[in-house]
Structure 1
């Protein structure tokens, strides 16, 4: 039994940030009902990386486990009635519609609060609910670009460097998850629901609390190096370096110890803290020249002996094969009715008394439509009439090609 067992979440979100936040609530035991159009959320039909599944794409699988799917036409009066009835039974309502859409669909905060004053209503946006950018599309790369983070990595002659993951989507998702939990705790103490607003821009700013404070408080500008460097505000060497057979990561070692490990006496002439910043290019060049003389494994062993922070640079294949990843159970494997055995990233935290678990795989579009309607008191005849009218869509098995 999860810590949120008995709580119900209505998830009207799409793409990554909202669905990830809702999935984390589901991982903790909440009954998450994904409200999607009768044809299914668009991400079912636009697979990331071209990873097309039999019926459910890999990206959708990754973001929608522990949910039930209610496929309903929210633009119809009867469809809104169904969702309003569902909201009356819910604890959390989550949406990331573009501005104005929630109101047009009758699921804005005032409408939902009127149906359920105890509701925790989580509204997610790209740039904020109001303001000059409120109507802009909140896409991860665009927010990365605006956040300033791209000028903290790489060398000055290169273009700004984006993250290799949807970092802003993820931090916005965890902000929404955190906000929902805090609001539920407030409700448990006071009986009052409330509105939680999260936007990707503020999340992108908040996650750079150290970097931006170095600029705003310390007055140190972002200045990238001539040589590749992993972060403008961290002393050299800091980044990824080529060895004779691959790459390794090296993180701000004391230069005297590094001089001994690499057998490059010149490095000991630099002051670790002062020159580590001022002489980044020279220090980096000395390390670049030396590391190709030995293999990654050899250097990692040497660095371990000298107490220097270093590590391998993995591909995804390497990551899955790592013994610590296996020991941690960082990935979960389960059976899906249409996709077979699937493996996806697991849970980022552990709870000793109420551990998160996979209770159900990502749903197929409308897979639990009839189940949810039955929960809400719709009879079999009522359900059949709604299906016939096109208000809702139950899951239908796909015919295998001949």
Structure 2
């Protein structure tokens, strides 16, 4: 049995954070119904990295497995009746509309709780539902920059460098997933539905629990380094360093170890617990000088055998070939009706008493519209009438991946 089997989630979200949160609920067995515009959700048409598929791009595939799709024009009164019927059957409603949009479409919390008092309503936003930034769009790199995190790494005098993935979107998705599970537990105990609010700003602030507390409690400012150093509040050496043929990642090795492995007694003048902060540029400069004398493979072995915390610096090809990644089954593969064999990141946790698997590929827009309407009790004539009126879209017959 799957953990959330028997529960229905209406996913009315777009882009990354909302669909990612809903996918995690789907992976636990919830019947996640993706409610899309007639032409499909925005992410279908915005291919990250230019990775466009036959009919479904990689971005959409990565965030929408294990879901069914119904395509509705929520500005249409007939479609609004359909979404309200779906709400009657739902346990969770998840949206990340801009402030005021849910009210205009008749799918705000106050409206839907009257239809289904047990409903868990998850509202995701960039900055919160009220306040001076409530109407601003929440975008990942903007929130990264605002979060304060970018001044905890990098070199002095150089522009702050954002993370090379959608860091804030991911933390917001995990926050929504966590909040939804908490609300489900609350409802199991009390029978009450509730509003769950998640915003990207609070999510990325909370993710820096330790770093920001060092500043607010310890009073220690962020201090970018002149030399390689990856984190303002961690002692040197700490970062990604060049070797003679590539790079390695090295985390706060002790001075005697560095002196021995790098054959450089200059490290012995440092007490790394003290000097690792105050003289981090000097230490990092010596590490950079020493590691440049030999290959990545040499240093991974020599430093690793000596007990240093050291590791490779992969691109995605390297990651896919790593033996631990293979052992963990970190990726999942499945057949998609238009995209063929699909391989994407899998599940970030394991459960001993329930299963997680890909049972549905990411759907085409409105692929399950007729199926879902039939489940609501509509007959073929009523469904045809909705399609003809432009309230509902049913996707065309699927083409084989080779077409």
TM-score by length of 2: 0.98
Using the alignment, how far apart are the partners of 1:66 and 1:398 within structure 2? 17
Gap runs ≥5 in structure 1: none
Using the alignment, how far apart are the partners of 1:186 and 1:98 within structure 2? 27
Contact 2:13–2:95 (8 Å) recurs in 1: yes
Match of 1:328 in 2: 328
Using the alignment, how far apart are the partners of 1:399 and 1:242 within structure 2? 48
Using the alignment, how far apart are the partners of 1:268 and 1:112 within structure 2? 67
Deviation of the 1:228 alpha carbon? 2.2
Which runs of at least 4 in structure 1 moved beyond 4 Å after TM superposition?
Answer: 398-402
Match of 2:345 in 1: 345
Contact 2:168–2:200 (8 Å) recurs in 1: yes
SS at match of 1:68: strand
Deviates more, 1:94-103 or 1:347-356: 347-356
Alignment of 1:12-27 (within 5 A): 12-27=12-27
Gap runs ≥5 in structure 2: none
Using the alignment, how far apart are the partners of 2:46 and 2:398 within structure 1? 18
* Residue deviations 1:214-248 (CA, integer Å, cap 9, x gap): 00000000110111210011111100011111100
Using the alignment, how far apart are the partners of 1:24 and 1:287 within structure 2? 42
1:78 aligns with 2:78: yes
Match of 1:176 in 2: 176
Alignment of 1:229-378 (within 5 A): 229-378=229-378
Match of 1:385 in 2: 385
1:65 aligns with 2:65: yes
Using the alignment, how far apart are the partners of 2:268 and 2:29 within structure 1? 55
Deviation of the 1:264 alpha carbon? 1.1
Using the alignment, how far apart are the partners of 2:108 and 2:166 within structure 1? 27
Aligned residues: 402
Deviation of the 1:257 alpha carbon? 1.4
Contact 2:22–2:94 (8 Å) recurs in 1: yes
Deviation of the 1:355 alpha carbon? 2.1
* Residue deviations 1:291-345 (CA, integer Å, cap 9, x gap): 1111111111111221100000000000001110011000000000000000000
* Residue deviations 1:349-386 (CA, integer Å, cap 9, x gap): 00011121111000011100001101111101100111
Query: For the aligned residues, what is the CA RMSD?
Result: 1.2
Using the alignment, how far apart are the partners of 1:211 and 1:251 within structure 2? 17
